[in-house]
Amino acid sequence: MTSLHMTLLSTIKARPVARSPLSALGAMLGAAIWLTLGASGLAAAEAPLSPPKPALVRVLFEPETAVMGQTSREDLSAFAEDFRRRSGRLELRAYAGPPHDTSSNARRLALKRALSVRRVLVSNGVTAERIYVRALGGTSDSGPTDRVDVRLFGG
């Protein structure tokens, strides 16, 4: 390390940095925060978000119900039989109601659906500790409104 680098390192003083709501949102969504030192000083830049991981299984429901169809139940059971032998955790993203509806009724129905899917997974050998449930209400994407997406959780 050169003396210039040593001088720079010894003169830079750390100070608290307030996080912006956008940075907090990025951190929740898994975005990396990069700090860069430019001519104008220290600046934070958000790394681009990676696209969401596709669902391993998509369970569809009839509108206004939390009852799973027999075909969906069989597909989910087969998935659980295979997944229980693997490592990793699952995230259940449950949707209900019209797009962008986050009302308590939509979220309550979404939660019932997620718990219905979770029950099938647990009854087929996936431990409950490996399942993370999110009841989101109405969808924010172009997928079907009444569904639960089963995804890998984390990295």
The alpha-helical segments, DSSP class H, found in 12-58 are 21-28
Whether 67 and 9 map to the same domain: the answer is: no
The reply to whether 52 falls in a domain is no
CA distance 21 to 108: 27
**Residue-level pLDDT, tens digit, the chain, 155 residues:** 444 444 434 444 444 444 444 444 344 444 433 333 444 444 444 445 455 567 899 999 998 999 998 999 999 999 999 999 999 999 999 999 887 777 889 999 999 999 999 999 999 999 999 999 999 988 777 788 899 999 998 75
Whether 63 and 19 map to the same domain: the answer is: no
The reply to whether 75 falls in a domain is yes
Q: What is the pTM of this model?
A: 0.64
Question: Sign of the CA dihedral 123, 81, 84, 92?
Answer: negative
Range of the domain at 10: 3-46
Whether 80 and 21 map to the same domain: the answer is: no
CA distance 40 to 45: 14
Whether 37 and 61 map to the same domain: the answer is: no
Whether 26 and 85 map to the same domain: the answer is: no
Whether 144 and 69 map to the same domain: the answer is: yes
